[in-house]
Structures are given as structure tokens and as C-alpha cells.
Amino acid sequence: MDDMIYENYKRAGKIAADARNYGVTLLKPGARFLDVATLVEKKITENDAGLAFPVNIACNTLAAHYSPRHDDPLTFKKGDVVKLDVGAHVEGYIADTAITVELETHLYDTMIQASSEALENAITVINPKIPLCDVGKTIEKTITSYGYKPIENLMGHGLGRYELHSGLSVPNVGALGGKMQPKDGDVVAIEPFATNGAGHVISGAGSNIYLCKDSIKAKFIRDNKTKTMFDKINKHFGTLPFAQRWFYGLFPKDDIAIKKLSFLGVMKHYPQLVEAKGGMVTQKEHTVIVREDGCEVIT
């Protein structure tokens, strides 16, 4: 990895970590999801980094993929198990990190510990000499040793320039991920999830998180207004996911157009990912640069 790219990753990592830690201080019963997301995103942009994706806030049985709407009424309650997932980029080089916080109660301390220790152990074992399924095995072993299940259909992922999911997958169980091995200089987000439920997630309602997915197909949109809107959104957000809040800021009251773009298949609306049996879910995530002899954590 050349020095410039490395410096960009280091900066993105520091900014994402600072924003995550700042976000934790805002998580209190009565606080609004919307305020937390907005303030954490502001922290990232104030530090001259870009938003790699909208701040994700997932509570309790929701594992991932929720970002508040511009008018979101949700507030935190005592006892909520909150996953705060934050991404920053510098020149397109992305750092992705997440933490779980239980608000004012301690019913899920060991589950929080399970995903956290699974991440630590994964960081200890990952290197270019072992297949990623072995990293999954380590995560699975750690989480099951606490009496919980890893979520098997959520995976860590390689990070590319302006690309949130590139090439590699880092499984949370030993049976997935195959024999693929990371290379020196690969950047990956490792994110173990633990649950007392089924051990997999299913798709729920919309997350308010979108992605422009097919700019070729978009050339064939007949309605001019819709086409112009797609072009504007695509120019603005490119290959990275964006929030309804951000879109709303660009084109007030155009929820209907974005629904149409999703319907046409040129825009993806991510679903919320909910634990299949309604289990509680914890998560911890760091971004690492794989090195010959291990890895460097940048978040």
C-alpha cells in the first residue's frame, strides 16, 4: 500500500473512531435517533472526512440497517441495546466501525462482551497465511463459548476506494467464507454479531438507506423528471449509500420519486435486518489493514 493511501486510511480510521466515541456519549434514554445520527455525521464532516454511509442506529432485535428519516420520531429508551455503526472516508478510503451500548441496564453485558471478544480474537488471528473461514471459526468459537450464536448471514467485508463491500467476505462462522485468504495491504471490516435468537437475520421494513445501483439502466428512464433526479442523486452520492435525510435535503418532498426509482430497479432501498427469532443482537466492528504478520487496526 503506498504511503498516501495509508495516510488517508489512518485519517479516516481516526475520524470514524472519534465520531463513534462521541456518538456513545449521546446515547441516553430520551435522546432522539435523528439528533444522534445528525451530530455524529457532523463530527465526521467537521473533521474534513466524507460520510462513507449514513450513521446506522440499530436497537435490540434489529441487527443492522436503520438510519433515521428527516422527521424520525424515534427516541432511545432505558434498556435499549444500541448498535451504532459509523463510516468515514478520506479521498474514498473508507473506515467502518461499530459498537454496542446498553442504556442504563446490564442485562446483556455478556452478549456485548461476546461480540467484543470475538472481534479481538479475529484481529489476533487474521493474516495473509490463513483462510478467512478460519477467522470465522475463531469468531464462532468465541461467541458460542459465551452461550450465544453468531449471526451467520452477516459478514465482515473488504473495503475498496469508494466501495463499501469489495471482494472479500469475513464470515462470522467457520462453515462459510471458503479458503479465500487476504493479501498484505487488504483493508477489511470485521464485524462479529452475537445473539440469543436464531443466529440469522431476515429482511424487514425499509431502512431509509439507499444506493444508486444501476446507472446504465437509468439511461432508459423515460420520464424526464425522474431521470434528472437520478442523475443528480448519482452525481451527489456516487457509489456510496445515502440516507433519505440527505436526499430530502436535496429535493424536498420527493419521497415519491425515490420510490419510483427503487421500483424501476435503478436505486436500491436497503431493508432493515432483523433477528429471525426476535433475539437480542450485539455487534462490534473495526476496520483493519492486513499485514504480512497480522493486521493493523485503524479504528
| Residues at the interface with Co ion (CB under 5 A) | 85, 96, 98, 285
| Active-site residue, 96 included | yes
Closest approach of Co ion to the CB of residue 283, in Å = 8
Closest approach of Co ion to the CB of residue 191, in Å = 6
Per annotation, catalytic residue among 72, 89, 285, 286: 285
Q: Are 150 and 143 in contact (CB under 8 A)?
A: yes
Nearer CB in complex with Co ion: 261/298: 298
> Closest Cα to residue 155, out of 203, 192, 197, 194?
192
156-160, strands of its sheet edge to edge: 163-170, 156-160, 187-190, 286-291, 294-297
Per annotation, catalytic residue among 18, 41, 72, 96: 96
Q: Distance of alpha carbon 282 from its chain centroid, rounded?
A: 13
| Active-site residue, 165 included | yes
Q: Are 299 and 20 in contact (CB under 8 A)?
A: yes
Rounded to whole angstroms, what are the CA distances from 171 to 32, 50, 138, 176, 192?
33, 27, 10, 6, 8
Nearer CB in complex with Co ion: 55/98: 98
Per annotation, catalytic residue among 65, 89, 157, 200: 157
| Active-site residue, 41 included | no
Closest approach of Co ion to the CB of residue 164, in Å = 9
The SS3 call for residue 219 is helix
Nearer CB in complex with Co ion: 134/285: 285
Nearer CB in complex with Co ion: 140/285: 285
| Active-site residue, 157 included | yes
**Angle of CA points 22, 50, 189, to nearest 5°:** 70
Per annotation, catalytic residue among 18, 41, 72, 85: 85
| Active-site residue, 285 included | yes
Closest approach of Co ion to the CB of residue 77, in Å = 23
Catalytic positions, written as ranges: 85, 96, 157, 165, 191, 285
